[in-house]
Structure 1
Amino acid sequence: MSSFYILGIDQSTQGTKAVLFDKDGKIIARADAAHKQIVNDQNWVSHNLEEIYKNVIKASRQVVEKAGIDKEQIVCIGIDNQRETTAAWNRKTGEPVADAIVWQCSRAKDICRRIGEDGVSGEKIYRRTGLKLSPYYPAGKMAWFLENISGAKELAENGELALGTMDSWLVYKLTGGKEFKTDYSNASRTQLLNIKDLVWDNEMCELFGIPMNALPQICDSDSTFGYTDLEGYLNKEIPICGILGDSHGALYGHNCRQAGGIKTTYGTGSSVMMNTGETPFFSEHGLSTSLAWRIKGKASYVLEGNINYTGAVISWLKDNLHMISSPGETEELARKADPNDHTYIVPAFSGLGAPWWRDDIYASISGMSRTTGREEIVKAGCECIAYQINDVIDAMRKDSKIDISQMCVDGGPTRNKYLMQFQSDISQTEVKIPDAEELSVIGAGYLAGESAGYYDPDDIYKAITYNFFETKMQEQERSEKVHGWNEAVEMLLKK
């Protein structure tokens, strides 16, 4: 086909975007649809599953109309999704049994503590799944559904309960309930996948009380997951033939396909991910081991550190503190701030993720002086993003013994040049920024195009160009700043 288009769907924490890729891999149009963040007085975070699915259909239709293309030329779909967010629904009727539990939500922490009380299970879980026992992961969230949602156990006993990550929900809905599948990148983040044998682990399922018949079929990331006509919008069904968790999509989109490739996604939270090749590598410094993907039957692994609050700190400055009216203001305010101010924000609003893994502490602001004002608080909000990411990079250096000299980055906050320069300075690495922000969906779209035979993997990346930030800060200044951050974190950890 001389002219064709690939539809990419990015179902992320804040909303859903649909993009169209042309035959050269360039994005020609984008449509967005936000969904509600449901937060209760216990700080539980939820999403409405039906709202998200309707937004997927709406955004997909809008992007086609916006581009003005012939929808008959759309040949396949690639999907990337917010990881760890967990859904539960009636497999016979397709009705959700509750709102999805968002990855940030730690409501399953008591379940995880109960499981870890024997002092043995936590280490067994890590060695089997590559993930530290935490309410962050879907296993605990699935157990919470079964223990707390009326009717969930009965559905499970009747073999009618479906438990899965957001990709499974979308595949199920897009195919009219015909397919219940997930890919290896998402499965590896559930805390239920045997990271070596690459199957659902029976002992892990028993430990969390998860019936294996409630879990989706695991497929290679470049499989054909089913066919959809987008609720009748298309005149014929087309294949869904590329699925990746959003962070894995970004790794693929940056072309970090070889061991040593590293990327950081700046979103609501952040994922710092390093490709470690064909062998799982277990961390001694608080990182997770997951599959990058499995493509054409070949698995690639990653070391990863996940951070709960990075871009969400900017949202907090805007929506809660009302210090900014838009994220774009942060760069100018940070530059205006007193460079000698020692304010540190540790945004542990739902605990600290990697490499600390503490869900029992709260956020703090420390080091303020009488002259600390709006600019200084905003600067500290930007800088805490870079400090948290640097903690993970330091852990990766210790674990892998690799000198990380370059890092690919993506996400909305990368537009902030102050933040990007500060990240380069604090992490002592060159920061590589693409001219496109949609790296997660680029990865899923490229994978779908390759799977369907429309893209050449050795040629398609020519559609992306990069800009670079190099380290400029003197080592003494950097050392003092990192020391101050470490003190602020340690103060919280000792409470």
Structure 2
Amino acid sequence: MNKKYILALDSGTTSARAVLFDKKANVMSIGQNEFTQYFPEPGWVEHDANEIYANQVGVVIQAIQKNHTKLSEIEAIGITNQRETVVIWDKRTGIPVHHAIVWQDKRTADYCEKLANDPKVIKIIKEKTGLVLDPYFSGTKIKWLLDNVKGLRNRAEKGEVLAGTIDTWLIWKLTNGKSFVTDYTNASRTLLFNIINLKWDQELLKLFDIPEKILPEVKNSSDNFGTTDIDAFKGIPIYSSIGDQQSSLFGHRSKIGELKGTYGTGAFLMLNTGEKVVRSKNGLLTTIALGLNGKVTYALEGSIYIAGNALKWIKDELHLIQEYEQIDYYLKDNYDTKGVTVVPYFVGVGSPYWNTKARGLITGITRGTNRGDIIRATAASIAFQTYDIFKAFQEDYNSKIIKMSIDGGVSKTQNLMQLQSNILEAKLYNPESSEITALGAAFLAGLKAKFWKDQAEIDKLIKFKKIYKPNAKVSESEKIIKNWKESVRLALEWNKTK
């Protein structure tokens, strides 16, 4: 019997990955390679789009060779990607006109702040896109490129260049320029796409002075995105494209009213609201979760900029730990930092406060404060930031959330996840598969390819290796949350008058 597989391309913020799945959603092989991070000025973050593409092709070859897979055994490709990061390239030569500007980049903060002085603009953006005006999203990045790369705006007006998020760039390259497309989830993160009528919005395009002709066609997340046409691997249909957080939501099989949290460099929480558009009053984003079979599913989302990066900070900059596994050692007993709190707002804060000028703080230090207190408080800051967003979800959705599925590198830190469960007073479900984000894209491609019959079949493939249940007194959680809230208040006041 011939073996058949689905290949998922997971184009992340720091690495390109390729994951080969079989019919039981088992990981057969993985290819992975990191790529360069560029920081040309404080607050600026860039990637080389050509390096991303070359790495992505390279890891596909790695994954195929590791499993001794024939190209004919790959039924379809699914793509999931870092969202909001944008690249503009020459339509004829395929050469990027500038480094890609990454979602973490803050170069348009002043522009956003100036635009935010007009309440009508804020209202239009929120109503049409479900987002807030923040440098995080793609629209202001595209505008910056058009305004700052010599001659680019003129070329854009003539239709000589193309702009897109990383999924669009990869698909265009993999199909040898035949497909210029994106999906609803990635389009919904640009500040340019109307999530109600599902079109590029003329009023928003005019606001940011971006010509529609440089933007891709928008399709369902599970759709025909073209066929690979490169020397390394030809003739494989690309049947899904979806932003990484939405892919994770689909990979978890989260139903309406259920929440997922991905703990990586940052942390992203997403709540499936079905076909209902829920407008947040508590600093969350309304976004598109999925386009499937002509129907759009919506979600509420909360974004934490610094999660795993906080642990990287105490490891690489403060040298308080040598290995990430030490985090669990310091959290092995009941959480106690003697009142020490770390607020890791290194680049401002996303949900639910949306303050680009906020900065990190360490509060409650005494002469008796030791390295263990700082380590514990830094790790716990991930759980506290999640708490702030979790409460916003409950208020916006008007319902108590009792189940949250988790994934990402930080979710492997078991004592931290137990602390998270205690603080949220909710169960956390950790799936057996460590590749949930890639699996979401694979599921969508596999459904299109009839590799899996329907969603009921893939529901049965998700199993959990651990379920965390709250085991602490509520009074204990309330005390440490009180310290956190006071510290956040101080962090939000930082630079307020500057």
Does TM, scored on the shorter chain, surpass 0.5?
yes
1:331: which partner in 2?
328
CA contact (8 A) 1:410 1:439 kept: yes
Residue 473 (structure 2) pairs with residue 474 (structure 1): yes
Partner of 2:40: 40
Q: Secondary structure of 1:38's partner? A: coil
The AA in structure 2 aligned to 1:142 is I
Q: Is the 8 A contact 1:338 1:376 kept in 2?
A: no
Q: Distance in 2 between matches of 1:24 and 1:183?
A: 26
Whether the 8 Å CA contact 1:337–1:379 is kept in 2: the answer is: no
Native 8 Å contact 1:306 1:353 kept in 2? yes
- What is the alpha-carbon distance in structure 2 between the residues aligned to residue 337 and residue 398 of structure 1? 29
Q: How does 1:229-244 map to 2 (within 5 A)?
A: 229=229, 231-234=230-233, 236-244=234-242
2:492 is the counterpart of 1:458: no
Tell me how far apart the structure 2 counterparts of residues 284 and 338 of structure 1 sit (CA, whole Å): 32
Q: In the alignment, which residue of structure 2 is the partner of 1:180?
A: 180
| Percent of aligned pairs sharing the same letter | 38
| 2:209 aligned residue | 209
After superposition, the CA RMSD in angstroms is: 1.5
Judge conservation of contact 2:359–2:492 (CA < 8 Å) in 1.
no
Post-superposition offset of 1:249: 0.4
Instruction: Report the Cα offset of residue 207 of structure 1.
Output: 0.6
Residue 260 of structure 2 aligns to a residue in which SS? strand
Cα gap change, 1:224 to 1:338, in 2 (>3 Å):
closer
Q: Provide the C-alpha distance between the structure 1 equivalents of 2:27 and 2:413, rounded to a whole number of angstroms.
A: 22
Are 2:46 and 1:49 aligned?
no
The Cα of 1:239 is off from its aligned counterpart by 0.6
User: Which position in structure 2 is the counterpart of 1:436?
Assistant: 433
State the distance in 1 between where 2:149 and 2:365 align: 44
1:249 matched residue in structure 2? 247
The one-letter code matched in structure 2 to 1:487 is: E
Give the equivalent residue in structure 2 for 1:261. 258
2:359 maps to 1:362:
yes
Q: Which moved more, 1:316-325 or 1:355-364?
A: 316-325
CA distance change for structure 1 residues 461 and 132 in 2, over 3 Å: closer, same or farther? same
Corresponding residue for 2:142?
142
Superposition deviation, residue 337 in structure 1? 9.2
CA contact (8 A) 1:185 1:292 kept: yes
SS in structure 2 at match of 1:197: coil
Gaps of 5+ in 1: none
Q: Aligned residue for 1:343?
A: 340
Within-5 A mapping of 1:9-408: 9-229=9-229, 231-234=230-233, 236-256=234-254, 258-335=255-332, 339-408=336-405
Give the corresponding residue for 1:494.
Answer: 493
User: Which residue number corresponds to residue 4 of structure 2?
Assistant: 4
Distance in 1 (CA, whole Å) between partners of 2:315 and 2:45 is 19
Q: What's the CA shift string for 1:134-182, capped at 9, x where partnerless? A: 1110011111111222232122122122221111111111111111110
Deviation of the 1:305 alpha carbon: 0.7
| Residues in 1 aligned to 2:335 and 2:399: alpha-carbon distance in whole angstroms | 35
Residue pair 1:249, 1:441 contacting (<8 A) in 2 also: yes
- CA offset at residue 369 of structure 1? 2.0
1:423 equivalent in alignment to 2:424: no
Structure 2: distance between partners of 1:86 and 1:139? 9
Q: Which amino acid aligns with 1:145?
A: L
Are the equivalent residues in 2 in contact too, given 1:90–1:155 (CA < 8 A)?
no
Cα separation, partners in 2 of 1:489 and 1:106, compared to 1, 3 Å: same
Amino acid in the other structure paired with 2:204: M
* Partner Cα distance (1:150, 1:326) in 2: 45
8 Å Cα contact 2:358-2:493 kept in structure 1: no
When residues 340 and 267 of structure 1 are mapped into structure 2, their CA distance, relative to the original with a 3 A threshold, is closer
Distance 1:485 1:52 in 2: 38
User: Could you tell me how far apart the structure 2 residues matched to 1:162 and 1:285 are?
Assistant: 36
* 1:152–1:373 distance in 2 versus 1, CA, 3 Å: farther
Distance 1:408 1:337 in 2: 23
Instruction: Output the amino acid matched with 1:261.
Output: E
Deviation at 1:99, TM superposition (A): 1.1
Cα shift at 1:2: 5.0
1: CA distance, partners of 2:12 / 2:322: 22
How far apart, CA to CA, are the structure 2 residues paired with 1:328 and 1:462? 32
8 Å CA contact retained: 1:26, 1:463: no
Provide Cα deviations, 1:248-268, integer angstroms capped at 9, x if missing partner: 000000011x31121001111
Q: 1:4/1:267 Cα in 2 relative to 1: closer, same or farther (>3 Å)?
A: same
CA shift, 1:340, in A, is 4.3
Task: Give the distance between the partners of 2:192 and 2:418, measured in 1 at CA.
Answer: 39
Q: CA deviation at 1:40?
A: 3.2
Determine if contact 2:258/2:401 at 8 Å carries over to the other structure.
no
Pairwise CA distance, 1:336: 6.8
1:410 aligns with 2:392: no
Cα separation, 2, equivalents of 1:40 and 1:387: 32
1:458 to 1:84, Cα distance in 2 relative to 1, 3 A: same
Stretch deviating more after TM superposition (461-470 or 71-80):
461-470
Q: CA deviation at 1:104?
A: 1.2
- 1:324-347 deviations in whole A, cap 9, x for unaligned? 233222211333797242221111
Distance across 2 between alignment mates of 1:40 and 1:312: 19
What is the identity, as a one-letter code, of the residue corresponding to 2:114?
R
For residues 437 and 150 of structure 1, the distance between their equivalents in structure 2, rounded to whole angstroms, comes to 44
Cα offsets for 1:186-220 (capped at 9, x unmatched)? 11111111111010001011111111111111001
1:13 match: secondary structure: coil
* Paired amino acid for 2:193: L
Instruction: Return closer, same or farther for 1:159/1:340 CA change in 2, 3 Å cut-off.
Output: closer
Could you tell me which amino acid in structure 1 is paired with residue 480 of structure 2? Answer: K
TM-fit CA distance, 1:31: 1.4
